[in-house]
Amino acid sequence: MTLSVSNLCVERAGCTLLHPTSLTIQPRERIGLVGESGSGKSTLGHALVDALRGQNVRVAHVPQSPDEALDPLRSMSYHWREAERALQCTPDRQRQQQLFRALQIHQGNLRKRPWGWSRGMQQRFVIAMALIGSPQLLVLDEPTSALDPVVAARTMNLLDSVLEQNQTSMFLITHDMGLAAKRVTRLLVMDAGRIAEDAPCSSLLQAPVTPAAKALTRHRTWPAPC
Ligand SMILES: Nc1ncnc2c1ncn2[C@@H]1O[C@H](COP(=O)(O)OP(=O)(O)OP(=O)(O)O)[C@@H](O)[C@H]1O
Ligand SMILES: [Mg+2]
């Protein structure tokens, strides 16, 4: 199903953080959202999630750091149960095992609290929790920025195959143009609370048009196109 939101707008304390923004997301589409710090990426991500939930679309959100999703005083099994409850899903051990297998969460003791797990495992656990309700869209806000490059790449590879199998669309918020270049087909550039550019990823990286996109692509960290 094509997902669509129109005229999303966010104002706080008299300031417009997100100017009216409309967006259409195709089934299985992989979209990246890049932009300088403070340009409004997370604001748009939250507004998108809220608006789609208002339309009863199954949409899940993975925050930048597992710390935002996991309470250090609660066990991992508590978090899983709470996520099932919030999604009104009946507890299903088989679903949990499938998601753990898909994201290679092995040897994780669910009775432990988050700090008993490595950061990489915590983040994969948070992603697995986000997938409990088989979302139509997964919004990921800097999902791998706290991970080392090897664990980050492995996590994104695992996520790629889960999304492919379930035909889930992805909205990937990132600072990392190299990550976007590898993982998305369409790239949006955020600038001062607006989408300044929206283009196929490869053309945007090769021939950015707006000053914001040019600034972001100036320092290449991704392989040059053949
Ligand atoms: N609750 C809030 N009240 C007031 N201003 C806010 C609030 N949340 C965010 N802002 C402001 O809104 C702007 C956009 O913030 P946002 O977090 O969406 O940026 P971002 O692009 O995600 O940045 P980063 O890359 O650093 O995560 C910033 O100027 C920020 O200071
Ligand atoms: Mg942000």
CB 7 within 8 A of CB 20: yes
Ligand 1 binding pocket mutation candidate from 43, 48, 62, 179 (most atoms within 8 A of CB)? 43
Q: Which residues have C-beta under 5 Å from ligand 2, the single-atom ion?
A: 41-42
Going by their DSSP bridges, the two strands 15-25 and 186-191 should be labelled as unpaired
Q: pTM for this one? A: 0.92
Domains of the chain in start order, with CATH, are 3-68+136-217 (3.40.50.300)
Question: Which tokens is 29 given?
Answer: 């589409």
Kindly provide the residue ranges of all beta strands, DSSP E only, lying in the chain, ordered along the sequence.
Answer: 3-12, 15-25, 30-35, 59-62, 137-141, 169-173, 186-191, 194-200
The per-residue pLDDT for range 90-146, each reduced to its tens digit, is 999 999 999 998 888 988 899 999 999 998 899 999 999 999 999 999 999 998 887
The per-residue pLDDT for range 194-219, each reduced to its tens digit, is 999 999 999 999 999 999 999 999 87
Q: 111-122: b or e for each residue (b if 16 or more CB lie within 10 Å)? A: eebbeebebbbb
Question: Considering Cα of 39, then 210, then 185, then 194, what sign does the dihedral take?
Answer: positive
Question: Which tokens is 23 given?
Answer: 């967006």
C-alpha 62 – ligand 2 centre gap (Å): 12
